[in-house]
Structure 1
Amino acid sequence: MSLIDAARAVRENAHAPYSNFKVGAAIRTASGKVFTGCNVENVAYPEGTCAEAGAIAAMVAAGEREIAEVAVIADSPDPVSPCGGCRQKIAEFAGGAVPVTLANMDGVTLSYTVAELLPGAFDKSHMDAP
């Protein structure tokens, strides 16, 4: 199963009763394992969880720490990209050259790298003491 297919399948499990905007994400790690996540809305909107964050949480819970590839899919006119917070979450576990494929349900895809989605990312080097 391709990463986009994995994201498409998990998207169906999204809990989006308020926006009706279901999103699926799939992450392949450096070891080759695939982790998926879907958005989970809450009536108190800020308390929801993005699909990418769910996939990352599943990856970390399984003891993995290195993202090798990301795919995100939603039913939108154009492929949807991760929100700013999720871009930062992805960058925590992925190098700048890691590919990110964005897709819509009609099969349109766009390809980026993590660095293209989050130029100038805040990283652990910013935490180094002067």
Structure 2
Amino acid sequence: MDVTELIKKAAKAKEKAYVPYSGFYVGAALLCKDGTVFTGCNIENSAYGPTNCAERTAIFKAVSEGYREFQAIAIISDSEEVTSPCGVCRQVMAEFCGPEFEVTMVSCKGDYKTVTLEELLPYAFSMKK
């Protein structure tokens, strides 16, 4: 699957976001190594702590279905700048994805930038050896 298709799936997922507090819609599409795609959106909560980002929603959906090998993720929001994953999402990616995992960050205008997870989180904390 090419990056433009992954971006389209992330944009569709963004429409389902539950964001009554921030109004900041985010969608993500996670590509598994076997070609399966899981999508996610951000889901807010009035207590803020239980809020879940789109990236983690997609990853947790995949992991809960038994998937553990991931190739790429696309993340899109309503921002005019590309949307970078938060620190918590970067750490979750480090738990389940390799350093070569591709992260495509997309603006509402369609501009995007693709980097590796290692570029986003060069000194990731890990219990893995």
Q: TM-score, normalised by structure 1?
A: 0.93
Matched, 1:111 2:114: yes
How many residue pairs get matched? 126
Matches for 1:3-82 after TM superposition, within 5 Å: 3-82=6-85
Letter in 2 for 1:45: Y
Q: Name structure 1 gaps, 5 residues minimum.
A: none
Task: Using the TM superposition, give the Cα deviation of residue 124 of structure 1 relative to its aligned residue in structure 2, in angstroms.
Answer: 2.4
Match of 1:123 in 2: 126
d(CA) in 2 for partners of 1:78, 1:40: 21
d(CA) in 1 for partners of 2:111, 2:53: 21
Q: TM-score, normalised by structure 2?
A: 0.93
> How much identity, in percent, do the aligned residues show?
46
Q: Classify the secondary structure of the residue corresponding to 1:121.
A: coil
Once the two structures are superposed, residues 37-91 of structure 1 have per-residue CA deviations (whole angstroms, 9 ceiling, x without a partner) of: 1000011111111101100111011110011111100010201111001001011
**Is the radius of gyration larger for structure 1 or structure 2?**
1
Q: Name structure 2 gaps, 5 residues minimum.
A: none
Segments ≥4 residues shifted beyond 6 Å: none
d(CA) in 2 for partners of 1:108, 1:67: 23
Q: Classify the secondary structure of the residue corresponding to 1:69.
A: strand
